[in-house]
Amino acid sequence: MLVEKNVALQPYNTFGIVARAHTLVRVAQEVDVQAVLADPLLAAQPKFVLGGGSNIVLTGDVRPLVLKVEVMGRRLVGETAQAWIVQAGAGENWHDLVGWTLAQGWPGLENLALIPGTVGAAPVQNIGAYGVELQDRFESLDALDLTTGRRFALDAAQCGFGYRDSVFKHAPGQPSGHDAHKSLGLAGRALITQVRLALPKRWRPVLGYLDLEKKIAESGVRQPSPQQIYQWVCEIRAAKLPDPQVIGNAGSFFKNPTVTPEQCADIIAREPRIVHYQLANGTVKLAAGWLIDACGWKGKSVGNAGVYEKQALVLVNRHGATGGEVMTLARAIQTSVYERFGIRLEPEPVVV
Ligand code: EPU
């Protein structure tokens, strides 16, 4: 085990924020975690698990011991009548996994193409795009208990998936997910090592999303292949979302809020053009990007942090932004959306 001190984290967070880890250990195998726990000094420290760094805002140097997940490997581990079961190491790049599964002839992840980050981070925030969420393709995962070093497996119910949410985003003792009484938080308590996905043998395209419907209309392709959808999703994302390699960002900065039908009717009466979607459970989801845009934030900046010109839901690092500047901008946006619409926006990334 190599214990690195004073490690620059700028290359390890997609916002490109300058910060340092006091202590960092790379986890390529389970034994790396067990070695940390066998060391009395390291074992006693609080832990911060770092994946692809695509959903975090660093507001300063990280004092807890950073465990950087670099577990690699991907393979078919099983097959049922319904699905191919594919397992990938938590340190694998998510988008590469999507491309690889398609190339192997196991479709199902195409709507989730080009999402930045690692495989291990995918369940943490239950990544989702264009009508598919990770939980729709999830089979199970392996994780290590950061107190004992023991491996345990969790199925979907145990992960407590919700909209951009899971047990891994909640601190111990803090309930999460739909099964609030059962799922207790695992943030800082568990390190995901392997993720298993169930990719349906009877593949059906998921095309309900407006941007994909537009692609069908434009192209005239009525029955797109998985590769075609993959291509379209990459095009849509490239047109709307900044490439973190070029301009630092963490994807959508806020979750799309849900309101009751009564609240929505009230808002529509005042703002007839508000973009909203009816959900199956009777509530209504509002487009946070639209709300922020309507408050005039698109293209604006606070210090070196800004609101992306093409999608107001994405905050960007214009150059050398600190986590503090990003959070100041985020709070200013929350205040103006609350003052105008009475809606509290909840950040999507984890603020460290
Ligand atoms: N809109 C505006 N102005 C804006 C931005 C959006 O009017 O500045 C309107 C759009 O015209 C559209 C609606 O808001 O009618 C929704 O926008 P979009 O289709 O871009 O999707 P989104 O709701 O902003 C969500 C996810 C994305 C995901 C896309 C596609 C959240 C928080 N975000 O964005 O996920 O890629 O849908 O499924 O749920 C992420 O989580 O990091 C992420 C990028």
CA of 210 to the centre of ligand 1 (A): 11
Terminal C-alpha separation, the chain: 25
Q: For residue range 53-104, what is the model confidence (pLDDT) as tens digits? A: 999 999 999 999 999 999 999 999 999 999 999 999 999 999 999 999 999 9
The span from the CA of 61 to the CA of 19, in Å, is 5
Which protein residue's CA is at the shortest distance from atom 7 of ligand 1? 290
Provide the domain limits for residue 104: 74-200
The span from the CA of 132 to the CA of 143, in Å, is 24
Verify that 256 and 332 share a domain, yes or no.
yes
Tokens of 329: 């901008």
Is there a domain that residue 37 lies in? yes
The span from the CA of 241 to the CA of 14, in Å, is 13
> How is the chain split among helix, strand and coil, in percent rounded to 5?
30, 30, 45
Amino acid in position 194: Q
Verify that 140 and 227 share a domain, yes or no.
no
The span from the CA of 5 to the CA of 16, in Å, is 20
The pTM for the full model equals 0.94
Residue-level pLDDT, tens digit, the chain, 352 residues: 899 999 999 999 999 999 999 999 999 999 999 999 999 999 999 999 999 999 999 999 999 999 999 999 999 999 999 999 999 999 999 999 999 999 999 999 999 999 999 999 999 999 999 999 999 999 999 999 999 999 999 999 999 999 999 999 998 876 555 544 445 799 989 999 999 999 999 999 999 899 999 999 999 999 999 999 999 999 999 999 999 999 999 999 999 999 999 999 999 998 999 999 988 889 999 999 999 999 999 999 999 999 999 999 999 999 999 999 999 999 999 999 999 999 999 999 999 9
Torsions phi, psi for 156 (to 5 deg): -60, -45
**CB under 6 Å to ligand 1: residues?**
129-130, 211, 240-241, 251-252, 255-256, 275, 287, 289-290, 293, 298, 311-313, 348
Active-site residue, from 26, 137, 164, 237: 164
Verify that 148 and 258 share a domain, yes or no.
no
- Number of domains present in the structure of the chain: 4
Amino acid in position 231: Q
Q: For residue range 246-287, what is the model confidence (pLDDT) as tens digits? A: 999 999 999 999 999 999 999 999 899 999 998 888 999 999
- Note the residue count of the chain: 352
The span from the CA of 240 to the CA of 293, in Å, is 14
CATH for 190: 3.30.465.10
The span from the CA of 293 to the CA of 299, in Å, is 9
The span from the CA of 236 to the CA of 11, in Å, is 26
Closest ligand 1 atom, CA of 111? 38
Verify that 87 and 194 share a domain, yes or no.
yes
Amino acid in position 297: W
Verify that 49 and 114 share a domain, yes or no.
no
CA of 321 to the centre of ligand 1 (A): 23
Verify that 25 and 95 share a domain, yes or no.
no
Give residue 239's Cα distance to chain centre: 19
Instruction: Give 112's DSSP letter.
Output: G
Tokens of 118: 């690692």
Verify that 219 and 310 share a domain, yes or no.
no
Active-site residue, from 54, 176, 183, 252: 252
Is there a domain that residue 205 lies in? no
CA of 167 to the centre of ligand 1 (A): 24
Torsions phi, psi for 6 (to 5 deg): 55, 55
Instruction: Give 118's DSSP letter.
Output: B
Instruction: Name the 3-class secondary structure at 25.
Output: strand
The span from the CA of 148 to the CA of 195, in Å, is 20
